[in-house]
Amino acid sequence: MKYLGVCGALATVGSLLALSACLEAEPAHVGLVSEAGGFVEPERRLASEGEESYCGAEVLRWRYEPSSGALKIANSRLLLNCCGQRAMHVDRIDSIYEITERDEPDAANPRCDSVCAFDFAVAIPEVAQRKIYVRLLRDVVDAQGSAELIWQGEIDVRKSAGEVVLDRVAAPGEACSGPQQPLTAQHPLAVQ
């Protein structure tokens, strides 16, 4: 609502240039983040039947649902500090979908001395059935100055599903023993 209110106010003032900027960006869609160990249900990370070892690689997957126009995107087996707060959101800027995965220290509990595997997932509504451009950024707040570009490229949603391996290095045994814990959010991956 706040987004539309600002654009409406700009239109009233008559600032066409500022109004066009409002029309080219959409508000963020918020994703889900697993507990340490990843999502318990393979469907949440869009895993296919006969998937290789969960700990073997970090994989970005997508699935398009033509009936609803929703594009589901999941990044599985990210290795991050076990202690902290994580979040994911997607912004659409012109024709680019920018996905940001954020990891930051928890104010109450400082970082610990261990690494865990996490899964991130989001559903983006009303995506046109065509090729789209995606940028995946990771913002580890206390480890770097700004968000790091992890992957960028085209996703052809007409193919309905696909994946790209982001990191082929297997996770160390202590960091990854596969999904074990329940979801942070207790509702299915739904269009936000």
User: Residue 26 and residue 3: Cα distance in Å, rounded?
Assistant: 9
CB-based contact 61:80 (threshold 8 Å): no
Distances (CA, A) of 55 to 12, 173, 175: 54, 8, 9
Quote the pTM value: 0.76
Q: For residue 23, what pLDDT is reported?
A: 41
**Which portions of the chain are predicted below pLDDT 70?**
1-28, 49-52, 144, 177-192
Give the per-residue pLDDT at 21. Answer: 42
pLDDT per residue over 151-161, tens digit each?
999 999 999 89
The domains found in the chain, sorted by start residue, are 1-27 (no CATH), 31-167 (2.60.40)
